[in-house]
Structure 1
Amino acid sequence: MIAVIQRVSRASVTIDGNVNGEIRTGFLVLLGVTHLDTDEDIQWLGKKIVGLRVFNDSEGKMNLDLQAVEGDILLISQFTLHASTKKGNRPSFIEAAKPDIAIPLYEKMIRFLETETGKPIQTGQFGADMKVDLLNDGPVTIVIDSKNRV
């Protein structure tokens, strides 16, 4: 499971001209699920996301986590994070999980993050054509792969 986490001042996702999810201060998380992912990946990655200390403290140092700044999460599924570009110029997405595996894991991640934060998680819609708008704060962008824990 790969997450691209962006610290944002605001972010929203629009589907068919309608805002589906919207946050102010917090994280825009792009989540790529592979066919090898399990509940263990959800728990490990979810805790990493919630615990990331990348918000500025009173001295301007990245030292505060999401809870300390009362931040929110906008979680967007993005199978293209598992693109392979080893051959040619057309990416292969063979490592990305098919919907029958990816959707339940994506939904479990939503529930896990809601439990960890005590707040509703804003989302896109799995498989939809989404327009994501964000104001990256910093910019701060962090990539975490649950398969690279060591």
Structure 2
Amino acid sequence: MNDKELIYWVDLTGPESIDEIVRLTIINTNNNVLFNHLFCPKVADYWDSDINGIEPEETYREKLFESYKTEIQKILSSANKLITFYASTFFLQKQGMDLSGIQICDVADCFRVTGGDTDTLDNLCTYYGYNLSTNIHERTGIECAKAINYCYHKMEEYSRAQGK
């Protein structure tokens, strides 16, 4: 496992026009948690919690993303590869994170079958045999990041076995 590869999970408020990060989790490939926080959004005060499992009232007492920018940037700058699932780096860059020189690997790009509602983290985990909680409200960012880590390495293993 490569210490320069980091896995991240990000939860957003929605709708897309004013999406803000409300949770960011970063782990290494050994599943050690490097960063895991909820944030109070600046603009959005309500969102559909059935999408990210986070109730708006859970974030009101949290600090803004910008309070952690230096810490997050230091962690991200230590990586040469960021691995995620359906998480655009746009929102990290929108917050001022410098991702130059870091390869971005979106596992969804490798898994995408139809480009529709079936391309979910849940279905990825089912396919690779990872036991991820089906209750979105009980799921943590750490659990999602660990699921991505597991599935990514299974994908890599299968790819090597196929000689790709």
Q: Is the structural similarity TM-score above 0.5?
A: no
Greater relative contact order, per chain length (Cα 8 Å cut-off, separation 6+): 1
Say which structure is richer in strand: 1
TM-score, structure 1 length as denominator? 0.28
